[in-house]
């Protein structure tokens, strides 16, 4: 970063501050991770200079031979890693990936059904103020009183509203996604099934969460969460795209063609080639045996942390976790999610406030916090560190107004972090 340091010290210094913040604290937002230096190298490469609208072998620009090779490698690695025959690696991030699926399979006004954001879903799964709830008729299912996805409600609403697409997956659900059960419901009403596996993609790749490939009609995922790649996304399915000018019906067999056309010209322009290259690098990393060990350790760490917190009287939604994340309902501790996020931040522990299913409070100051272990596990933290971290969290939440104690915890957190550097 020598050039940046001399040419633009303002930005250089801010980047250095962010690196220090990350390395001296605990990143526990479950959708975050620390990428390898190899991923960062690809991301900071000259590939960013190149326009390559279209797909490999079918571009609207000259000079795309290397962009073609990069994208082919990314697609091939995605297909091999997840065991499918189609991959589109161009979505700039998770929201456009989901938009592309809706553009591919629905017409404006069609009915789609997804998990309520405030029960752990995602805004693109049909939130009324999101495009998915504005341009489509959105029906929302939720979680039961214990916090598990309510399959009875999903089935009842599906039969009542006959959605054309059922969206599954979410952003604050600590339990295994039951893809086969969702598919059963989708089939009963003739709906397409979309599995948004963004949160668990790394766990799927590592074999510690069931894969939706071969069950869902189409799968979307971001690449920067448990999968530990750069910000980006992919759309996966089975089948092959047809030739460019052939017109196709909206059928399951034509999903690859419909997806490719939805990305471009449907919703995006040029792909981000530097991002595609970095995704390819991350996919190669995820194909190594060490990644399986990493994925298993994420889940082990989450379970230990969850058990430690529950033994200290914390109320975890669903009573625990089977994945990389947990959702804590702080109602019984007389603390709000906002207060907890702020106090933990002062202690060097970054989490996010989050609604819990059936939350009586509002999203800007909800009852819960969401936390997870992917980034800590990347740094090599294991069971012993999870036990210490549970202690730090408990101390911080017991001292939300005690600035001295929070500072003291931050110092201890930083000392612990020194033994677990960010990847290089
Ligand atoms: N913002 C992501 C998350 O934090 O889970 C979802 O897109």
196 given a catalytic annotation = yes
Atom in ligand 1 nearest the alpha carbon of residue 95: 7
346 given a catalytic annotation = no
Atom in ligand 1 nearest the alpha carbon of residue 29: 4
Considering only CA atoms, which residue is closest to atom 5 of ligand 1?
A: 171
323 given a catalytic annotation = no
Residue tagged 């509203």 (tokens):
161
182-210 in b/e form (b: 16+ CB < 10 A) is bbebbeebebbbbbbbbbbbbbbbbebbb
CATH class of 290-417: alpha beta
Q: How confident is the model at residue 250 (pLDDT cuts 50, 70, 90)?
A: confident
Considering only CA atoms, which residue is closest to atom 3 of ligand 1?
A: 31
The answer on pLDDT for 42 being more than 70 is yes
Q: Where in the chain is the domain with CATH 3.40.640.10?
A: 41-286
Which pTM value belongs to this model?
Answer: 0.97
Ligand 1 pocket test, pick from 171, 351, 375 with the greatest ligand atom count within 8 Å of Cβ, gives 171
Q: How confident is the model at residue 364 (pLDDT cuts 50, 70, 90)?
A: very high
Residues with CB under 6 A from ligand 1: 31, 94, 122, 171
Q: Where in the chain is the domain with CATH 3.90.1150.10?
A: 290-417
Atom in ligand 1 nearest the alpha carbon of residue 352: 4
The answer on pLDDT for 66 being more than 80 is yes
Instruction: Please report, for residues 22, 63, 72, 254, the alpha-carbon distance to residue 60 in angstroms, rounded to integers and kept in the order given.
Output: 40, 10, 17, 23
H helical segments located in 83-192: 94-105, 131-134, 151-161, 179-189
Q: Read off the pLDDT of residues 75-107 as tens digits, 9 standing for 90 and up.
A: 999 999 999 999 999 999 999 999 999 999 999
Q: What is the mean pLDDT of residues 295-304?
A: 98
51 given a catalytic annotation = yes
- Reduced to 3 states (helix: H, G, I; strand: E, B; else coil), residue 52 is coil
How much is the pLDDT for 219?
98
107 given a catalytic annotation = no
CATH class of 41-286: alpha beta
User: What is the CA(96)–ligand 1 centre distance, in A?
Assistant: 13
Using omega within 30 degrees of 0 as the cis cutoff, is the peptide bond preceding 265 cis?
yes
How much is the pLDDT for 244?
63
- What is the sign, positive or negative, of the torsion defined by CA atoms of 132, 134, 137, 142? positive
CB of 169 closer than 8 Å to CB of 65: no
Considering only CA atoms, which residue is closest to atom 6 of ligand 1?
A: 171
Pick the catalytic residue from 231, 296, 388, 395: 231
Q: How confident is the model at residue 354 (pLDDT cuts 50, 70, 90)?
A: very high
Q: How confident is the model at residue 271 (pLDDT cuts 50, 70, 90)?
A: very high
Pick the catalytic residue from 59, 77, 116, 225: 225
Q: Read off the pLDDT of residues 407-423 as tens digits, 9 standing for 90 and up.
A: 999 999 999 999 999 99
User: What is the CA(402)–ligand 1 centre distance, in A?
Assistant: 30
Average pLDDT over the chain, rounded to an integer: 97
53 given a catalytic annotation = yes
User: Burial of 252 by CB count in 10 Å (0-12 exposed, 13-18 middle, 19+ buried)?
Assistant: middle
């Amino acid at each position: 970063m020598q050039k940046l340091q001399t040419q633009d010290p303002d930005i250089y210094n801010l980047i250095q501050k962010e690196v220090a913040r990350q390395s001296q604290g605990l990143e526990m937002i479950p959708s975050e991770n620390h990428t390898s230096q190899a991923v960062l190298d690809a991301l900071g490469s000259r590939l960013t200079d190149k326009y390559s609208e279209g797909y490999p072998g079918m571009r609207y620009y000259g000079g795309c031979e290397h962009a073609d090779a990069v994208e082919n490698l990314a697609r091939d690695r995605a297909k091999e890693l997840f065991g499918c025959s189609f991959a589109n690696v161009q979505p700039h991030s998770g929201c456009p990936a989901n938009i592309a699926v809706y553009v591919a399979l629905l017409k404006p006004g069609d009915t789609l059904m997804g998990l309520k954001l405030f029960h752990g879903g995602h805004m693109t799964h049909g939130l009324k103020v999101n495009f998915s709830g504005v341009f489509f008729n959105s029906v929302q299912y939720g979680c039961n009183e214990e916090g598990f996805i309510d399959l009875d409600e999903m089935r009842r609403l599906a039969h009542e509203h006959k959605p054309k697409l059922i969206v599954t997956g979410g952003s604050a659900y600590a339990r295994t996604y039951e893809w086969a059960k969702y598919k059963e419901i989708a089939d009963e009403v003739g709906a397409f099934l979309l599995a948004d596996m963004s949160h668990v993609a790394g766990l799927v790749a590592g074999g510690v969460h069931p894969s939706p490939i071969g069950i869902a009609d189409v799968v979307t995922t971001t690449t920067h969460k448990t999968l530990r790649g750069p910000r980006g996304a992919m759309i996966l399915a089975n089948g092959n795209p047809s030739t460019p000018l052939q017109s196709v019906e909206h059928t399951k067999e034509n999903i690859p063609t419909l997806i490719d056309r939805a990305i471009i010209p449907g919703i995006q322009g040029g792909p981000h080639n530097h991002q595609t290259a970095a995704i390819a690098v991350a996919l190669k990393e995820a194909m190594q045996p060490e990644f399986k060990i990493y994925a298993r350790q994420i889940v082990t760490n989450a379970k230990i942390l969850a058990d430690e917190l529950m033994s200290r009287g914390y109320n975890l939604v669903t009573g625990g976790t089977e994945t990389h994340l947990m959702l804590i309902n702080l109602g019984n501790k007389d603390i709000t999610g906002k207060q907890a996020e702020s106090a933990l931040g002062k202690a060097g522990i970054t989490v996010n406030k989050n609604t819990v299913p059936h939350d009586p409070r509002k999203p800007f100051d909800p009852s819960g916090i969401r936390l997870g272990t992917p980034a800590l596990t990347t740094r090599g933290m294991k069971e012993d560190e999870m036990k210490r971290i549970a202690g730090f969290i408990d101390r911080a939440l017991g001292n939300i107004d005690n600035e001295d104690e929070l500072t003291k915890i931050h110092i201890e957190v930083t000392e612990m972090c020194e033994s677990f550097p960010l990847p290089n």
